[in-house]
Structure 1
Amino acid sequence: MYWGYHLILDCKSGDLDKIKSGSNITAFVKALVPGIDMVAYGEPVVEHFATHIPEAAGYSLVQLIETSSITGHFVDLNGDCYIDIFSCKEFDIETAKGFVQEYFNPTQMRVTYLTRQA
């Protein structure tokens, strides 16, 4: 058994309307959490940042879960997004990827999966 399981998704050129929608990002994480058999701890934080820097502007997401966290960063300029799911409870990678595809429709998804143990 490992201490944690960490899925890192680097997603290219998602649907800009979806990437730039705080309500879509919120809907994504609210569907993802039960979809990968996790339990949310509180409400997600979804905030738009860096509006004064066009290359960096976009939403950031933080959702605490009982077994760790889900985070995401979404780039307004090009539709890229970066999503991390870290949990000490195992989860299905393909299911998680499916939610990302459904909610953001990236043209490419680079997947990194780590098992964590000190």
Structure 2
Amino acid sequence: MQTVTLHTPEPLPVRTGYEGIHAMNEAIERNAWGIASSVDIYNCDPSTIRDADAIRRFVVELCDLIEMKRFGETQVVHFGEDERVAGYSMVQLIETSLISGHFANQTNAVYLDVFSCKPYLPETVQQFAQEYFEGSHSNLNVSLRY
């Protein structure tokens, strides 16, 4: 049997240079197709990331917060034969693209992605998600799509 050592990375600064309102403003000014943000959240509350209904509530609240119109129901499916990746995965279509995430049981981490051609504040997503899932820290990466 192989022993795996797990660790949670220390928080990193936003690597793309897009911070706060600047990402949203630049997306508007440069006529970007959209904003893509990825949030990795560490040391989350195990009971919340293992609760499909809590994940669905998170999506509804997040969409309301960043003013995205949901299209259809949130899909939440638990799978993963390999314990390293086992957990819930979520996808929510929004009228301006989609929100997706994976909730890793083994590390109690959340990997959340939001892509929208409607401008939004990535830091709002990061802060809300980290608070909702009670993570100790998170990393945010933002890119503009053209």
TM-score, L = length of structure 2: 0.76
- Residue by residue, what CA displacement relative to the aligned partner does 1:60-91 show, whole Å, maximum 9, x if unpaired? 00000000000000001121110000000101
Supply the RMSD in Å over aligned alpha carbons. Answer: 1.0
Conservation of the 8 A alpha-carbon contact between 2:130 and 2:137? no
Length-normalised TM-score, structure 1? 0.93
Distance in 1, matches of 2:131 and 2:138, equals: 12
Contact 1:7 1:111 in 2 (8 A): yes
Structure 1 gaps of 5+ residues are none
Distance in 2 separating the partners of 1:29 and 1:96: 11
Residue number among 91, 109, 118 corresponding to 2:138 in the alignment? 109
User: Which residue pairs with 2:60 in the alignment?
Assistant: 30
Q: Residue 4 of structure 2 aligns with which residue?
A: none
Task: Verify the 8 A CA contact 1:71 1:83 in the aligned structure 2.
Answer: yes
Aligned length: 116
Does 1:82 find its partner at 2:111?
Answer: yes
Which range is displaced more, 97-106 or 5-14? 97-106
- Gapped regions of structure 2 (runs ≥ 5): 1-30
Determine which structure has the larger strand proportion and give its number. Answer: 1
Larger radius of gyration: 2
